[in-house]
Structure 1
């Protein structure tokens, strides 16, 4: 009888040990270096954000976090690489276009952001600045009244067809009742040159680029595209203060993962990222880069993706916007 009891105790211990080992294996993820893919070149804004997150995330996870740049197609090459990863150790730092309208804008896009990727956390957001030549006299409501009067005699510049600046300006046109003509450029540096030279009369620019030119006296800022004033450029009014109602447009970056990454790992990452971006020193560094910290749950990012996808797809369809 004692032998039977002893065997039962040993068997129970083995079962418990196996269960503990399984639980331990599940909680010790990641088990090797984590790859953080960025679809833009080194030194770009998404790259700088990714590298800012990599070290504290590595410390929190107990594994190296390696930033890998896979630049091209407006970040879609990197997003595609993340969507195809099956190693449970690859995630990506992406911009809003990669996670929202990539497939809607260009059906040839090789991944579907809504099917092949899953949200982890919205990292940071920023409004765009409506910038005009420094010689522009009108401000606020008077600027839009003048723009309405001039109709299609005015031009606006963007860094390309289908960019947030392009879609955002088409949305602004509808909300403000103005009709400037689109002039696409290779990038924002050329847009700024066009503004300074008077070839285009307005453009939506990231605050980090716009405010340097505004403070240097080369451009003038009408306002920001957020619903209210933004901590990124607190000195600027919102366009709502200039009479443009119902406009809320922000650029953002976020961490996403392959759809197959286990939910437990996704929640672990989201929790850590939210804590990291709220650290005062990290928050300030992100603000210095022209971004306002968010740090959401996966559900929070999913809601943002759904809202922006609906708004931007409506702009694309109404204006029949096609990729170059």
Structure 2
């Protein structure tokens, strides 16, 4: 069932396992490849990119340099990719925000579809609703009861207005019928810092970006946002199984390049990412983080971007999220 209150990744046209078989060695290139992340350090996408960068760089035959350029919900970094030469030396790793932005911003400096070359939707990362350790709630029922007992007293954080993290938090608030205040931050790092410091009471975060703080007891895992529990944290129940059955949110991660990237270059970069994410050390890291890695083909990525953009446009309209 696909309703406006559900955000979930659609995994279609996934590559068969055989797509990751050994390919001919790529020519060495003494020029480093920039991988632009339009999000802050410490986010779920950042954790994924840095865990895989060495292996992907080896497969590319050139150093892969991860560069964080956060701002405006991902627009700042994505604009750098859009303006880059289509030579394969500047790539981007983006999340749901890339196709959400056209639906929530009145003006965009680029076309999120036409000005980029989709290379692969790498997979999905689980999101988790967490609360600060000082919050008197350890599960969905307790958090909802606490918020309803103190209307407008609690704050929930997001990594920025109009982001997938914001929409995921807004959906929880809406479905639970809460009156709380939204506090947007400029990235996941500052958001997590204030969750740890108690300035905000709860929020949605990518599991890889918050897992260490959950284990240390600095924050409480209220519920996993996806439809199923994560193998990386099977002890965390889903929000759906705690009384909000229609709540289902996952983040996806994709690799893009500038528009007009030559087909041969698209295939070369695609194959390098497939090989890099199939390397044993990256497979182990992704499993530890709870990420589901199933790279799509460039063609499937292009179709996925278009379908997701249309779906988020409908969601943003219903949620009345409009940004300058």
Using the size of structure 2 for normalisation, the TM-score is 0.75
- Higher Rg: 1
Q: State the partner residue of 2:213.
A: 213
Q: 1:80 to 1:208 in 2, by over 3 A?
A: same
**Runs of 5+ consecutive residues of structure 2 not aligned to the other structure:** 1-23
SS in 2 for 1:113: coil
Does 1:85 find its partner at 2:79? Answer: no
Paired with 1:198 and 1:41, the residues of 2 have a C-alpha distance of 23
Give the deviation of 1:132 after TM superposition. Answer: 1.6
> Which residues in structure 2 correspond to 1:59-70 (within 5 Å)?
59-61=58-60, 63-67=61-65, 69=67
Paired with 1:30 and 1:98, the residues of 2 have a C-alpha distance of 34
Give the deviation of 1:242 after TM superposition. Answer: 0.9
Does 1:35 find its partner at 2:33? Answer: yes
Paired with 1:196 and 1:99, the residues of 2 have a C-alpha distance of 28
- Contact preservation (8 Å) 1:126, 1:232: no
- Contact preservation (8 Å) 2:86, 2:258: no
Q: State the partner residue of 1:132.
A: 131
- Contact preservation (8 Å) 1:126, 1:250: yes
- Contact preservation (8 Å) 1:119, 1:298: yes
Aligned-pair Cα RMSD in Å = 3.4
Q: Deviations over 1:95-117 (max 9, x none)?
A: 21453122332243311111111
Give the deviation of 1:199 after TM superposition. Answer: 4.7
Q: 1:198 to 1:48 in 2, by over 3 A?
A: closer
SS in 2 for 1:101: helix
Q: 1:293 to 1:245 in 2, by over 3 A?
A: same
> Which residues in structure 2 correspond to 1:85-124 (within 5 Å)?
85-97=84-96, 99-124=98-123
- Contact preservation (8 Å) 2:70, 2:187: no
Paired with 1:246 and 1:303, the residues of 2 have a C-alpha distance of 25
Give the deviation of 1:223 after TM superposition. Answer: 0.9
Q: Deviations over 1:137-157 (max 9, x none)?
A: 452445445545655443312
Does 1:318 find its partner at 2:318? Answer: yes
Give the deviation of 1:80 after TM superposition. Answer: 1.9
- Contact preservation (8 Å) 1:286, 1:292: yes
Paired with 2:81 and 2:67, the residues of 1 have a C-alpha distance of 12
Q: State the partner residue of 2:9.
A: none
Paired with 1:110 and 1:270, the residues of 2 have a C-alpha distance of 26
> Which residues in structure 2 correspond to 1:252-271 (within 5 Å)?
252-271=252-271
Paired with 2:137 and 2:67, the residues of 1 have a C-alpha distance of 43
Q: 1:108 to 1:30 in 2, by over 3 A?
A: farther
Q: 1:202 to 1:307 in 2, by over 3 A?
A: farther
> Which residues in structure 2 correspond to 1:152-191 (within 5 Å)?
152-191=152-191
Give the deviation of 1:267 after TM superposition. Answer: 3.2
Q: State the partner residue of 2:241.
A: 241
- Contact preservation (8 Å) 1:130, 1:221: yes
Q: 1:186 to 1:36 in 2, by over 3 A?
A: closer
**Runs of 5+ consecutive residues of structure 1 not aligned to the other structure:** 1-26
Higher RCO (C-alpha 8 Å, min separation 6): 2
Q: 1:238 to 1:272 in 2, by over 3 A?
A: same
Paired with 1:52 and 1:110, the residues of 2 have a C-alpha distance of 30
Q: Deviations over 1:177-235 (max 9, x none)?
A: 33322122445455445545655332112223433333222322111111111234322
